[in-house]
């Protein structure tokens, strides 16, 4: 199984928060881990925002970013499928980067010729779109 992480799931690998344990278990069980190239700047922006809001200390944000840098080379990186993402944005009324994540996971699944891609996100709207596009969606207490 290839585990596809959107930014909300990837952040759970970098900082301890609700459902971190489940995501780390899914990582351990996966044969490979994939994400979109847009995930890195989106994750860095989320860490900066959480620092600005006081949810993370400056040191906590730096440690999380170092963890991201250390893990990044080990991910299968999916290039932007902008036309497909635009179609998903329209069809499912998704935000731009959310549409990019669905498009990346569907592109990865289609390229492999299998249904061996499991999608991980902690955004209900994004998960509904992923299910609608035929992706296996992992959720706490759900399939694993």
**DSSP character string of 71-136:** HHTTSEEEPP-HHHHHHHHHHHT--HHHHHHHHHHHHHHHHHTSS-EEEE-S-HHHHHHHHHTT-E
Q: How many CB atoms lie within 10 A of CB 124?
A: 9
Question: What per-residue confidence (pLDDT) applies to 49?
Answer: 97
What is the reported pLDDT for 103? 98
Cα atoms found within 13 Å of the Cα of residue 123, Cβ hemisphere only: 20
Whole-model pTM? 0.93
Rg (CA), the chain: 15
- The pLDDT assigned to 115 comes to 55
User: What pLDDT, on the 0 to 100 scale, is given for residue 135?
Assistant: 95
| pLDDT at site 144 | 45
> Rounded to an integer, what distance in angstroms lies between the CA atom of residue 45 and that of residue 17?
17
What percent of the chain is helix, strand and coil (3-state, nearest 5)?
Answer: 60, 15, 30
CATH class for domain 2-138?
alpha beta
Residue 114 has a pLDDT of 61
Mean pLDDT of successive 10-residue stretches along the chain, which has 144 residues: 96 95 94 96 98 97 98 96 97 97 96 82 96 93 56
What's residue 101's pLDDT?
98
**Domain residue ranges of the chain, discontinuous segments joined by +:** 2-138
**How many residues make up the chain in this entry?**
144
């Amino acid at each position: 199984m290839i585990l596809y992480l959107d930014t909300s799931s990837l952040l759970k690998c970098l900082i301890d928060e609700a459902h971190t344990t489940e995501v780390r278990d899914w990582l351990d069980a996966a044969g490979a881990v994939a994400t979109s190239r847009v995930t890195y700047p989106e994750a860095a922006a989320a860490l900066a925002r959480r620092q600005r809001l006081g949810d993370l200390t400056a040191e906590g944000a730096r440690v999380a970013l170092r963890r991201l840098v250390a893990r990044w080379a080990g991910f299968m990186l999916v290039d932007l499928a902008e036309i497909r993402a635009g179609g998903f944005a329209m069809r499912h009324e998704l935000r731009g980067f959310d549409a990019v994540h669905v498009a990346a996971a569907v592109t990865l699944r289609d390229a492999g010729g299998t249904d061996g891609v499991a999608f991980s996100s902690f955004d209900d709207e994004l998960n509904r779109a992923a299910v609608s596009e035929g992706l296996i969606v992992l959720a706490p207490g759900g399939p694993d």
